[in-house]
Every structure is written in C-alpha cells, then in structure tokens.
Amino acid sequence: MNVLIVDDEPLARERLSRMVGELDGYRVLEPSASNGEEALTLIDSLKPDVVLLDIRMPGLDGLQVAAKLCEREAPPAVIFCTAHDEFAIDAFQVSAVGYLVKPVRPESLIEALKKAERPNRVQLVALTRPAAESGNGPRTHISARTRKGIELIPLDQVIYFIADHKYVTLRHEGGEVLLDEPLKALEDEFGDRFVRIHRNALVARERIERLQRTPLGHFQLYLKGLNGDALIVSRRHVAGVRKLMNNL
C-alpha cells in the first residue's frame, strides 16, 4: 500500500516516514508534501492509497485538502496526524478513516493503516450526507479520546450511553470509551435511534431484546451484544419502553 506523508514540519515527516517504512506491506512515496497545495498536486501524480495528513498547515489546511478529495471519484484514504485533538468531528465529516494525535504511537498508526482501505464513492456519500444535507444533522460516528488517540466509533455499533457524574460511558461492540458530552445532548441528536430507559441511560432501539421484571419488582432490559447482562429501567420509563417494543 502506497502512503503519502503531508506535514509542514520536516521532523514530523521524517518520523512518520521512518515508522511507515518499518512496516511490511507499506511504501512511503517520495517526495512528501509540506503544504496543502503540494499535497493535491502529488496526490494527482503519485496516486497514493493512503495520505497521512497534518491539519494545521500554511495555505490550504488538512481539512480543506480532505474536503477537496471528497469531491473525487476515487480518493485516497485519509488519516489525520495532528498535535490538536479538537478537530475530530470535522475530520470525520471529510471522511477521514483515522485521527492520530502526535506524537503518533506505532501501534495506533498500524491500527489506522489497517482501516485505511480506499473508500469508494458510495461510502463517501454515506459518510458525508448528514452534514451536507442539513448542516447540523446527526453524526454517523462518535469521537472519543483514548490512549490510542482519537477513536471514531460508528453509531450503528453503539449499544448504550450511561451518564456517571461529568462523563458518559459509551458501550460499543468493541468495548467502552468515555465521552465528555452531556447525555441530554446525545438524546437530542440521536433521539430517533436511542431511547431513554433511565435518567442516566440511553440505549439503541435496534438492540432491545426483552424487558423482564425481577422478583423484587424491578425492570431489566436485555440488549443484543451485552452477553446476557441487563440494564435497569426506571419505573417512569417502563411504559415508554413497552410501547416502543410493541412497535419494533
């Protein structure tokens, strides 16, 4: 797989080049690019499979470069490598397949590269449609900062959100991450796909399996993907959950 490195810092380009060069199955393309204009020119001539792209650069920044690539029929996969973690949502809206925070860790780079199969036009349209159609439509992925950097979790893999003090735990098919987002904001954005079952819990509607009353009179909700574990449904939300289940 051919990889083009785009970064305005020579040392950052050298480090990424060395890391990629040590991996089997990947080849660093030369020359690398130091700004957005150079990146677009080299992408046209070298046809990379993957672009490791910095965000803050003089002239066209990385987000603008990625947005231009979204307009192409067969764009390379984009992995952002940046010192800044506040652009994760914007990065996904321009179809990034990875978002790594500097200093990039080798294991995080490997994981991102494995995801970086060249996206086709249908995938790009599906990923960017919410933002393109409404400007503030619901996201298709949730971003969370983990030890790997910024992790992008597909919404259809999310099982539940549970609030605990200032953080929200997101449980997904691959594990758990912490979000610094209010549960109410998540409910407002994703209310058509998630339902509140407790003052501190939202669950994916399509994951609901069965509602069961315990001998003590509590209600438990079983969800697909939790391997038999159940969540408590508060009494005020039982009727709403039952009505939803009747319509599923």
Within 8 A by CB and 6+ apart from 101, the residues are: 82, 83, 84, 85, 145, 149, 150
CA angle 53, 56, 62 (to 5 degrees): 40
Q: In this predicted structure, which of 68-77, 101-110, 124-133 has the lowest mean pLDDT?
A: 124-133
The hierarchical CATH code for the domain 153-247 is 2.40.50.1020
Rounded average pLDDT over 231-238: 95
Residue 138 and residue 185: Cα distance in Å, rounded? 11
Residue 156 clears pLDDT 80, i.e. is over it: yes
125, pLDDT greater than 60: no
Residue that wins the pLDDT comparison between 4 and 95: 4
Residue bearing the bigger pLDDT, 201 or 98: 201
Contact assessment for residue 127 and residue 95, using Cβ atoms and an 8 Å cutoff: yes
- Looking at every residue in the chain, the average pLDDT score rounds to 86
Which whole number is the average pLDDT over 118-130?
Answer: 45
Cα(212)–Cα(2) distance, rounded to whole angstroms? Answer: 53
pLDDT class for 150, splitting at 50, 70, 90? low
Residue 131's pLDDT band (boundaries 50, 70, 90)? very low
pLDDT over 50 (residue 230): yes
pLDDT in tens, 192-229: 999 999 999 999 999 999 999 999 999 999 999 998 89
Checking if the pLDDT of 122 tops 70, the result is no
Provide mean pLDDT across the span 39-49. 95
Question: Are the folds of 2-137 and 153-247 the same?
Answer: no
**Could you tell me the residue ranges of all domains in the chain?**
2-137, 153-247
Q: What pLDDT does 148 receive?
A: 62
Order of strands, sheet of 230-233, starting from the edge strand that comes earlier in the sequence: 208-213, 219-223, 230-233
The third-level CATH classification (topology) of the domain covering 2-137 is Rossmann fold (3.40.50)
Residue 91 has a pLDDT of 64
> How many percent of the chain have pLDDT more than 70?
85
